[in-house]
Amino acid sequence: MNRRLRRAGALACGVLLLGGCGFRGAYSLTLPGGADTGDDPYTVEVEFLDVLDLVPQSGVRVADVPVGRVESIDLNRKDWTAVVTLTVNRDVDLPANAVAAVQQTSLLGEKFVELAPPGNEKPEGRLGDHSRIPLERTNRNVEVEELLGALSLVLNGGGLAQLQTINHELGDALEGREDEIKKTLDELDTFIGGLDAQKAEINRALDRANELATTLAKRTATIEKALDTIGPGLDVINQQRDLLVSMLQGLARLGDVGTQIIHKSSADTIEDLELLQPILTQLAAAGPDLGKSLELILTYPFPDSSLSALNYRQAQTGGMALFTNMTATVDLDLTSILCRYVIDQSGALEELPLEEAITQGKCGVQGGDAADTSGGGGDGSAKAARTSTTPSVLDGIEGQLVEQAPDAGRATGPVGVPALPEVGR
């Protein structure tokens, strides 16, 4: 009988070993009163830096409602973090970027895993089978042991005994300075109020600084290239530093000397400019006449327009001779000459006829125009009688007219001499 029982026990153990490789003792048994995971739950892996005393079969909650359980807790040997596998009811809808934390039911209660949507991010996607919550989205609460340990450090020589000394020294420092402290606090309040009033401007300045930083970040390669290129230039400047300093010192001395010269010669310069002012004024007034006189300087005593009427012929002695016809009107009336150029140089008098000028004993009367020398409407014939026309002095010269210059009939024209044909000898 005992042998049969032993065989049956051995057979049962073999079946368990062959068919129950996932058996983990009591952790493989479902505890009564646990969460209902349904017929088709999904699994989620969660990374924790520290799971404290969390054990398999611990609860999984959402908004303090049980929705699953902890299946296993493994160690990630790459970064030595804990990987907790959770089984969650299929009806639980959580975003893919959900967060997880190890919580405690009470001060001395059991641990559980709390799942929740992200509080500071927009929910994205959906948490499903084989989803993984990374380490940056997990956390744990403070343990009672940690709180008591920190409190013991404070109570047992952790600085609590020095609070009385700090309070006493602070009272001594502020005693008798209440008004100054109050004034300082008022000024600090004004300063903080000013900053609060300029909050929009400060934000705008920070935004502009951010834009500048972004622009500089986009041009990092250019800035690095410029910094690399400017190095040799700075080396050359460093080598020529003595020469640059000497040049700047010489320039400073030149500036001092120039300033002294300007100060010492300022009075003479102003006097020279004042003496030069009348000359410049007269030159400005004679500007139009000066420009016209340049037209006559090369052809004096003939105007440059007379050169367009030049003619040429073969001279008796050989070669070519240039000539032009000229008509001159000469006024030989001595009374008019004396009145115009001796008595009335400004031309302000109206000229009288010869007989009236002799009988009355004066050159003219007031109201005339200097340009009008007719002396009245009927004096045109008298003036014509006082003028004479002389023939050209070249009419008696013998010779043969070979050819007339082109456009010789025009009264005016540009300065120049027509091209002459080559004459053989």
**Using one digit for the tens of pLDDT, what is the confidence trace for 224-276?**
888 888 888 888 888 899 999 999 999 999 999 999 998 888 888 888 889 99
Residue 39: pLDDT band with limits 50, 70, 90: confident
The conformation of residue 425, written as its DSSP 8-state character, comes to: -
pLDDT digits 0-9 by tens, 290-314: 777 777 777 676 666 666 666 777 7
Global pTM? 0.34
Give yes or no for residue 408 having a pLDDT over 50: no
Least confident span in 144-158, 225-239, 315-329, 363-377: 363-377
Give the span between the Cα atoms of 15 and 44, in whole angstroms: 31
DSSP-assigned letters across all residues of 247-265: HHHHHHHHHHHHHHHHHHH
**What is the rounded average pLDDT of the residues 13-25?**
50
What local confidence, expressed as pLDDT, does residue 395 receive?
44
Least confident span in 31-45, 87-101, 295-309, 396-410: 396-410
What Rg do the C-alpha atoms of the chain give, in angstroms? 61
pLDDT digits 0-9 by tens, 103-150: 988 877 888 999 999 988 899 999 989 899 999 999 987 777 777 777
**Beta strand segments in 276-366, E:** 311-314, 320-323, 329-331, 349-351, 364-366
**CB contact at 8 A, 326 and 392:** yes
User: What is the pairing mode between strands 81-88 and 65-76?
Assistant: antiparallel
What local confidence, expressed as pLDDT, does residue 288 receive?
79
Give yes or no for residue 402 having a pLDDT over 70: no
Residue 68: pLDDT band with limits 50, 70, 90: very high
pLDDT digits 0-9 by tens, 235-249: 888 889 999 999 999
Residue 61: pLDDT band with limits 50, 70, 90: very high
Give yes or no for residue 365 having a pLDDT over 90: no
Of the candidates 389, 370, 376, 377, the one whose C-alpha atom is nearest the C-alpha of residue 332 is 389
What local confidence, expressed as pLDDT, does residue 405 receive?
43
Helices (H), 72-177: 144-155, 162-174
Give the span between the Cα atoms of 211 and 219, in whole angstroms: 13
Give the span between the Cα atoms of 402 and 322, in whole angstroms: 11
**What is the rounded average pLDDT of the residues 349-363?**
67
What local confidence, expressed as pLDDT, does residue 141 receive?
79
Phi-psi region of 178 (alpha: psi -120 to 50; beta: other; left: phi over 0): alpha
Number of H helices, E strands in the chain: 11, 15
Give yes or no for residue 411 having a pLDDT over 90: no
pLDDT digits 0-9 by tens, 137-192: 999 877 777 777 777 776 665 566 677 788 888 888 888 888 898 999 999 999 99
Give the span between the Cα atoms of 49 and 170, in whole angstroms: 42
The conformation of residue 411, written as its DSSP 8-state character, comes to: S
239 CB-side CA count, 13 A: 6
Residue type at 32?
Answer: P
